[in-house]
Structure 1
Amino acid sequence: MYGDPALPPDFVSLPYANPDAPKGGKVVTANVGGFDSLNPFIVRGTPPWQFRYLAYESLMLRSEDEPFTLYGLLAESVETDSSRSWVEFTLRPEARFSDGSPVTVEDVIWSLSEIGARGHLRYRGLWDKIEKIEETGPRSLRISFNSKERDLALLAGLRPIVKKSQWDGRDITESTIHDIPIGTAPYVVESYEIDRYVTLRRNPDYWGRDLPIKRGTDNFDEIRIEFYGDNNVMQEAFNAGAISYLREFNAEKWESQYDFPAVQRGDIVKSEIPHQKPSGISGFVMNTRRKPLDDWRVREALIRAFNFEFINEALTGGRQPRITSYFSGSELAMDHGPATGAVRELLLPFADELLPGALEGYALPVSDGTKRNRANIRSAAKLLDEAGYPVVDGLRRDAGGRPLTLTVVLKQDGLIQQANAMMAIYARALERLGIALTVQSVDKAQYGTREANYDFDLTFMRRSLSLSPGNEQYFYWGAEGADTPGSRNLMGMKSAAAEAMIARMLEAESREDFIHATRALDRVLTTGRYVIPIHQYAVGRIAHKKELKYPKEHLPIYGDGVAFLPAVWWFDPE
């Protein structure tokens, strides 16, 4: 994105991969919930979340050890102009789909256009910014953009490529679970049973196995994804040895509950994987499409009533630090004092729109750590009074006398296993303010429908953010998604300031200008009071069978993720 790639033209492998890693073995991972689709590129159905990354490839591959650098995969070369108004890719002659047929320019153009125009919402943003795609040679194509966003050339290199002829006379968006798109990746589906399992087998004829970018990766012969009804059953299966590894997101549980016999014998190993990426935002998002959450004072009151210090101590032993802004823990994070210098200059044109704290400085409220949280509850009550929700007969009521009630919708998911416990504590705090909080825990399918239609007051949200945030920020926070069902803009925010900062990020020609714009965006998002932040995942925690190994000498700056496990791990029976 900025400067030169870190790896030289003659590099042997990615720095965080072991080029001599042995091939073989089987790994079993697990998801909570179910699946009814094996097409990750369309709106219809729910595929396993990791399927896109295991079974499909793109023109280029991202290095997890650099903020945003791509290296050729299906493409053997890439060319662009200084302003990145266009990008041209030349395909490798040896690139093949899993059925042995060659990857053609026609396949690439069809994948970009069909998935981009009619596929899942996450792919449509790029298509809207493509002016034209044209074949420029037997193995090359050029994409011209209608926007000045400098990351578009990179994003085009990351779009999935599938086989066009598979869909001749058929509509990919109406495919069933039996219509699995043909890709080029090392793994192909061997078998599956809806809501039970998917087995992926490494293709012995995989076309790219000798590329430096792939050396030491994709080492397991078989990857099996098992599905469980809830997190407790999944944990029991892991403890019994039915699952090869488990990611743990609760630091207290990591310290106190991973002492079962397999751990004591050394059959299960606990590995901690540090990272340098931003905290991102994890917490309870507030739906501003609904009253009273359209009032920032109500949202600030709800943030103050959330007794993070007490909850964190009770549920994680205080081991996990709080998220303090969307990019906290990185050089992209806002300063919590007044905006100064270039950041202030970027924000000043939007002074009338910005909420209190964006220019003056803002920090999340801190409690005294006691159960009562008296000072923050008092200040929250004052804000609710100012917003027009006084206490009448023991309940907060609006001007029409209707009680202030809120509904939290939660999905049964291992990633948010603590959410119900947090909400139980939070409900008692809101009761003291005169607010009734109802928690609804629903299955994955029902949750998907409710989330897509914004049928909630609050829900759990997690957005991982990179060291080089880009076009996806429009998808997360852009006004267009506020009124579009199924968007990632769960809070329904519409902010001209946020969109202007994203535009400045994407047009920046230096890392310094990019950092200023991102810090300004962080201020707009954080002071928007859209999310009640919880703790950050400051380190990856993986419990795994002793036979699973990874290159400990060089860990990627992005830490754990599907591009780390299972991508660069291997099986060692000795």
Structure 2
Amino acid sequence: MPIQARWPLQAAWQCFRRDAVLRGWVASGLAMALAAGVSLFSNPALAAHGFALHGDLKYQADFRHFDYANPNAPAGGTLTLANPDRRTSFDKFNPFTLKGTSAPGLNALMFESLLISSADESASAYGLLAEDVTVAPDELSVTFTIRPQARFSNGDPVLASDVKYSYDMLMSKASSPGYRSMCTDVKAVIVAGERTVRFEFKQRNRELPLIVGSLPVFSKKWTAKVPFEKLTFEPPVTSGPYLIERYDAGRGIIFQRDPKYWGKDLAVRRGTFNFARVAYRLYKDETAKLEAFKAGEFDAIVEYKAKNWAKSYQGTRFRNGELLKTEFPHRNGAGMQGFVMNMRKPVFQDVRVRQALILALDFEWLNRQLFYGAYRRLDSWFSNSELAASATFDGRPSPGELALLEPLRAELPPEVFGPDVVQPSTAAPRSLRDNLRQARRLLAQAGWTYTDGALRNAKGETLVFEFLDDGGAMSRVITTYVRNLEKLGIQVNQRTTDFALYQKRLEDFDFDMVSIRFPDSQSPGNELRDRFSSEAAGTPGSDNLFGLKSPVVDKLVDNVLHAHTRQELVTAGRALDRVLMHGYYIVPNWYSASHRVSYRKTLAYPERLPYYYTAEGWILSQWWRTDLQPQAR
């Protein structure tokens, strides 16, 4: 049961992080073998077809298609999907601006970037709009050459000036602040030729060439009549495989594959985006959506609620085989999902209070009673990954971690130098009562004692806060959690609000506690600044919902960003994870290592699954229909 991701403000940003290039950069002096078997850094003038963070690129320059794509997949038919999140309407086609709600599917189907990631490598990217890329000898700039055949939907060539224009718009205050945070170290974008664009950097940051290579590119003509921040239903002028065919802002949108799509024969596109049309239908709530799927109104659904998966996917269409249900394994890092405590509010500023609130969550009961044993407890910001502090042999800092932590010892709690944080459990011989007793002791140490039917401080003030909810799948979990808090004498006001107001309050940091899922990354990088940096804490709309302002965390994030090798990245990631977990900024929830998908039997997918993928993106880009005559691409 995931927590609702943040839309519309972070819609473009989160899709960008999931679907664009996986983060990272080549270590200084690390030999990156290309098709010719040479090192990028041994000849800085050599233009490469892609980047590998560690070792060799899997695919050489003459590769024909990604192994997880079916180059012989039939093209044609319509894929009908439901709204992939809780948006029930939309009022614009611009997924990057702050105001309003964008239509579903825009990022994946219409917008392209200079580079595209490989879903079976943890940190590799290959040319999409760009045919090659050159890194300067001092690593302070990167130059992309745009493919001569690259075209926008209006027939115009994609030029370097369009890349610069797109960058300037994304860096404007009208766009999500996540883009600006990721590109903090970009000094300038230079149009060096009609099809040549150079990004210059303020300092060495091995991730930056891949970051700027993954930014969406669109035509200047999109805003020929309307300023970027005021775009509503002006169709985007983009280079992607689909165009908007028609729409109804309150009911749905239909995309049609562009018959003149320029990139259909590229190796990175072969066997992908096989449907002639992609339609989204909007449903008012999750129950209506599920019942509509079972009635045959759309083709596939990704299920996030364990109870639904166990109990609701049954009926005539399942019995006769018309509808199928499958769990697809993945190797994605789990990211972090949990109840965020906003430390801008005084009630959460004492670490002992935050620890007590974590002790009140009974995961074992929830997993048994509500989730049908489907989940594992999150114990790290990088769970299901080698970057987790808990992945060390004995849970204690390695020598490499200590080398990063020791200079900061005076600013860190001593517990950081001991075992990693173990999440509280109610499995025998422990119990919820034991955990609540421990929580009460911590609260008393923080000055909160039970008096006159409530938890009060020395001034007689009660410990009270609001839990903001958008009425989604987490509501019953929140209610159970609140009951446990009430046993401690904590008063929690559950506030359920509509989706638009919910998003606005998140953007303004106007909440006490809220349920959030932060996306995963196989190679975390500059997105950590948007999530944890002191600067982001004061930037409305950033991922730093906690209000975390810590010079120590800022330094550890920089260590991750400037890691030279995978081992250095792992070490820096574990040190950061260790400090964050000992800060107790979030009540960790749970994760699953598989995608639960139900679909019509007339849909098919490649035999070879990708390693790192989202279920929705995989269905859109890799699946096809088996019940219609294929159409020419």
Alpha-carbon distance in 2 for matches of 1:29, 1:476:
31
Secondary structure of 2:256's counterpart equals: strand
Residue 191 of structure 2 corresponds to residue 130 of structure 1: no
Residue 202 of structure 2 corresponds to residue 143 of structure 1: no
- Cα deviation, 1:38-73, whole Å, max 9, x if unaligned, reads 101211211145421221000111111111211111
Q: CA deviation at 1:356?
A: 5.5
Q: CA deviation at 1:168?
A: 3.6
Aligned to 2:459: 400
CA contact (8 A) 1:83 1:150 kept: no
Equivalent of residue 609 in structure 2, options 532, 549, 555: 555
Alpha-carbon distance in 2 for matches of 1:370, 1:407:
33
Q: CA deviation at 1:84?
A: 2.8
Q: Counterparts in 2 of 1:416-435, with a 5 A limit? A: 417=473, 419-435=474-490
Equivalent of residue 24 in structure 1, options 65, 71, 76: 76
Equivalent of residue 342 in structure 1, options 400, 405, 421: 400
| Cα pair distance change 1:341/1:17, threshold 3 Å | same
Residue 438 of structure 2 corresponds to residue 379 of structure 1: yes
Alpha-carbon distance in 1 for matches of 2:92, 2:413:
42
Aligned to 2:19: none
Normalized against structure 2, the TM-score is what? 0.87
Equivalent of residue 150 in structure 2, options 80, 92, 95: 95
Q: CA deviation at 1:83?
A: 4.9
| Cα pair distance change 1:542/1:352, threshold 3 Å | same
Alpha-carbon distance in 2 for matches of 1:195, 1:54:
20
Aligned to 2:620: 566
Aligned to 1:263: 318
Secondary structure of 1:238's counterpart equals: helix
CA contact (8 A) 2:69 2:272 kept: yes
| Cα pair distance change 1:5/1:302, threshold 3 Å | same
Equivalent of residue 556 in structure 2, options 488, 492, 501: 501
Which is further off, 388-397 or 132-141? 132-141
Q: CA deviation at 1:562?
A: 4.0
Alpha-carbon distance in 2 for matches of 1:370, 1:546:
47
CA contact (8 A) 1:288 1:493 kept: yes
Question: Aligned pair count?
Answer: 568
Alpha-carbon distance in 2 for matches of 1:493, 1:459:
15
Amino acid at match of 1:384: L
- Cα deviation, 1:87-132, whole Å, max 9, x if unaligned, reads 1000111100011111111111111122223322121124432212
Alpha-carbon distance in 1 for matches of 2:506, 2:605:
37
Alpha-carbon distance in 1 for matches of 2:509, 2:485:
22
Amino acid at match of 2:415: G
Secondary structure of 1:565's counterpart equals: helix
- Cα deviation, 1:172-227, whole Å, max 9, x if unaligned, reads 0122x222321100011111122321111111110000111100001111111111
Alpha-carbon distance in 1 for matches of 2:525, 2:112:
21
Amino acid at match of 1:163: S
Secondary structure of 1:313's counterpart equals: helix
Equivalent of residue 121 in structure 1, options 168, 177, 185: 177
Q: CA deviation at 1:354?
A: 2.6
- Cα deviation, 1:484-525, whole Å, max 9, x if unaligned, reads 211111111112222222211221221111110111111122
The alignment-based identity, stated in percent, is 36
Aligned to 2:16: none
Q: CA deviation at 1:140?
A: 0.8
Alpha-carbon distance in 1 for matches of 2:458, 2:538:
27
Aligned to 2:121: 66
Aligned to 2:530: 475
Structure 1 alignment gaps of length 5 or more: none
Aligned to 2:370: 315
Alpha-carbon distance in 2 for matches of 1:353, 1:255:
48
Alpha-carbon distance in 2 for matches of 1:33, 1:138:
40
Residue 226 of structure 2 corresponds to residue 164 of structure 1: no
Secondary structure of 2:599's counterpart equals: strand
| Cα pair distance change 1:320/1:216, threshold 3 Å | same
Q: Counterparts in 2 of 1:220-299, with a 5 A limit? A: 220-299=275-354
Alpha-carbon distance in 2 for matches of 1:539, 1:197:
28
CA contact (8 A) 1:230 1:412 kept: no
Alpha-carbon distance in 2 for matches of 1:313, 1:291:
35
Alpha-carbon distance in 2 for matches of 1:356, 1:556:
42
Alpha-carbon distance in 1 for matches of 2:74, 2:118:
21
Q: CA deviation at 1:272?
A: 1.5
Amino acid at match of 1:359: F
Residue 493 of structure 2 corresponds to residue 438 of structure 1: yes
| Cα pair distance change 1:420/1:181, threshold 3 Å | same
Q: CA deviation at 1:74?
A: 0.7
Which is further off, 84-93 or 242-251? 242-251
Which is further off, 353-362 or 30-39? 353-362
| Cα pair distance change 1:369/1:430, threshold 3 Å | farther
CA contact (8 A) 2:301 2:597 kept: yes
Aligned to 2:418: 360
| Cα pair distance change 1:377/1:108, threshold 3 Å | same
Residue 601 of structure 2 corresponds to residue 538 of structure 1: no
Q: CA deviation at 1:169?
A: 6.0
Alpha-carbon distance in 2 for matches of 1:209, 1:493:
45
CA contact (8 A) 1:273 1:559 kept: no
CA contact (8 A) 1:50 1:562 kept: no
| Cα pair distance change 1:363/1:377, threshold 3 Å | same
Secondary structure of 1:448's counterpart equals: helix
| Cα pair distance change 1:406/1:75, threshold 3 Å | same
- Cα deviation, 1:350-383, whole Å, max 9, x if unaligned, reads 2233345322122111113799611100000001
Equivalent of residue 305 in structure 1, options 347, 360, 369: 360
| Cα pair distance change 1:572/1:521, threshold 3 Å | same
CA contact (8 A) 1:309 1:368 kept: yes
Secondary structure of 2:145's counterpart equals: strand
Secondary structure of 1:522's counterpart equals: helix
Structure 1 vs Structure 2 CA RMSD: 1.7
Normalized against structure 1, the TM-score is what? 0.95
Q: CA deviation at 1:398?
A: 2.4
Secondary structure of 1:277's counterpart equals: coil
Secondary structure of 2:247's counterpart equals: strand
Residue 450 of structure 2 corresponds to residue 391 of structure 1: yes
Q: CA deviation at 1:82?
A: 4.9
Amino acid at match of 1:341: P
Amino acid at match of 2:376: P
Alpha-carbon distance in 2 for matches of 1:49, 1:456:
27
Secondary structure of 1:79's counterpart equals: strand
Alpha-carbon distance in 2 for matches of 1:82, 1:334:
35
